[in-house]
Chain A
Amino acid sequence: QVTLKESGPGILQPSQTLSLTCTFSGFSLSTYGMGVGWIRQPSGKGLEWLANIWWDDDKYYNPSLKNRLTISKDTSNNQAFLKITNVDTADTATYYCARMNIGTTTGVMDAWGQGASVTVSS
């Protein structure tokens, strides 16, 4: 059974760096075809894809966040991470991590965490 869980600071101030952790089980990020993606959703709004990291350490970012994103992984501890620098109120959202599997579902997100709520406020 694949499970993922996001953790983050909850609240942070403008200009700070948001650090999110995705702890997962049921798959390994060292296995061919596996990946973890990050997606966010402001309250009552739609979904925005942020970044992906793959088993071979290939990374992709959404350019709309203008180089503020860094995605990484710790394969030994089954974790993936996302950092967003210089946050502002527009970054207030629920942040999801999700598993991707090229081998079975062509790489789209097929299992999601419960989401971590992040509020940016002074």
Chain B
Amino acid sequence: DIQMTQSPASLSASLGETVSIECLASEDIYSYLAWYQQKPGKSPQLLIYAANRLQDGVPSRFSGSGSGTQYSLKISGMQPEDEGDYFCLQGSKFPWTFGGGTKLELK
């Protein structure tokens, strides 16, 4: 199975701060990488797919980048509504696997 190592496990950001979350795959996943946001008690919401494609309706302050085994999610200007858990997902090879998650809080 492809292992997805996500970091950091948690972080705290100030309003307007730029935040980055990383996912490292155990092998090349050819940009088949998605990012999800999950708020408490809610289901995950797709933010980014194909490593850098912004899902319809997602604010442009979210962006994704990376290739091969290294990927990142950037939030350019932290907003209160961005608090929550973030997960990466590799869809390159079955079984699909998620990163362990990052809890993002507003400082």
Q: Which residues of A contact B (CB under 8 A)?
A: 46-49, 52, 60-64, 96, 105-115
Is A113 within 8 A of B95, CB to CB? no
Is B95 within 8 A of A49, CB to CB? yes
A-B contact pairs, 16 of them (CB 8 A): A46-B98, A46-B100, A46-B101, A47-B89, A49-B89, A49-B95, A96-B44, A105-B46, A105-B55, A108-B32, A108-B34, A109-B34, A110-B46, A110-B49, A112-B44, A114-B43
With a cutoff of 8 Å between Cβ atoms, the chain A residues found around residue B98 in the complex are: 46-49
Q: Which of B32, B43, B44 has most A Cβ within 10 Å?
A: B43
What is the total of A-B residue contacts with beta carbons within 8 Å?
60
Is A112 within 8 A of B45, CB to CB? yes
Query: In the complex, A109 Cα to B100 Cα: how many Å?
Result: 17
Q: Is B97 an interface residue (CB 8 A)?
A: yes
User: Shortest Cβ distance from A43 into chain B, in angstroms?
Assistant: 11
Interface membership of chain B positions 23-45, coded 1 if the CB is closer than 8 angstroms to chain A and 0 otherwise? 00000000010101000001111
Contact of B49 among A48, A62, A108, A114 (CB under 8 A): A108
Interface membership of chain B positions 90-107, coded 1 if the CB is closer than 8 angstroms to chain A and 0 otherwise? 010011111111000000
Q: A46-B101, A47-B36, A48-B98 are in contact. List 8 more A-B contacts (CB 8 A).
A: A46-B99, A47-B87, A47-B98, A62-B94, A107-B91, A110-B55, A111-B46, A112-B44
User: Shortest Cβ distance from A27 into chain B, in angstroms?
Assistant: 15
State the 5 A-B residue pairs at the shortest beta-carbon distance, nearest first.
A112-B43, A49-B96, A108-B34, A62-B95, A47-B98
With a cutoff of 8 Å between Cβ atoms, the chain A residues found around residue B45 in the complex are: 112
Q: Is B50 an interface residue (CB 8 A)?
A: yes
Is B95 within 8 A of A108, CB to CB? no
Is B94 within 8 A of A60, CB to CB? yes
Is A108 within 8 A of B100, CB to CB? no
